[in-house]
Amino acid sequence: MIAIGSDQGGYELKQEVMGYLKDHGYEYTDVGSYTPESCDYPDIAAKVVQMILNGEAEKGILICGTGIGISISANRYPGIRAALCTDCFMAEATREHNDANVLCMGGRVVGPGLALKITETFLTTEFSQGERHIRRLNKIEENYNDYINE
Ligand code: RB5
């Protein structure tokens, strides 16, 4: 299951990405926004994050105008590794190295053709399971825990 959401800046691109998911047999849940009217991207990020942290979704896709605000929002939650990708190299590398669980894109940054290739790359690339990558991922959570427990 993939949780997908956007604000108004990503609304149109989200329709394209949902079309891709449907055509390629992915199950997905659209958490909104359901209209192109203005809304607040942190609320959309929270809904996608919730589904992942609850175990209702394996991965998420978040789209705002730049992809920046919505990725900043998602990355505030421990266990979320949200990657803003503008090309397929980034999408491949963030799955292989960071085991990213949320793909973020900017609806005003990438066109639909590139966005769909980025989505395909992100969804079909496995985490490398490399020892150094696992160590670094563990450190993200451990260093954060050290900080909040100081
Ligand atoms: C909304 O205008 C815009 O700020 C938002 O979509 C996003 O780009 C924020 O980072």
For 49, the domain range is: 2-148
- Say if ligand 1 is within 6 A of residue 65 CB: yes
State the average pLDDT over residues 117-139.
98
Number of domains in the chain: 1
- Say if ligand 1 is within 6 A of residue 71 CB: no
73 confidence band (pLDDT: 50, 70, 90): very high
Residue 85 among the catalytic residues: no
Read off the pLDDT of residues 75-104 as tens digits, 9 standing for 90 and up. 999 999 999 999 999 999 999 999 999 999
Of 92, 71, 91, 59, nearest in space to 6 by CA: 71
Mean pLDDT value across the chain: 98
Residue 24 among the catalytic residues: no
Measured CA to CA in angstroms, residue 125 lies from 68, 95, 98 at distances of: 23, 6, 11
Q: Tell me the best of 12, 41, 63, 73 to mutate to test the pocket of ligand 1, counting ligand atoms within 8 Å of each CB and taking the most.
A: 41
- CATH code (residue 93): 3.40.1400.10
- Say if ligand 1 is within 6 A of residue 68 CB: yes
State the average pLDDT over residues 44-65.
98
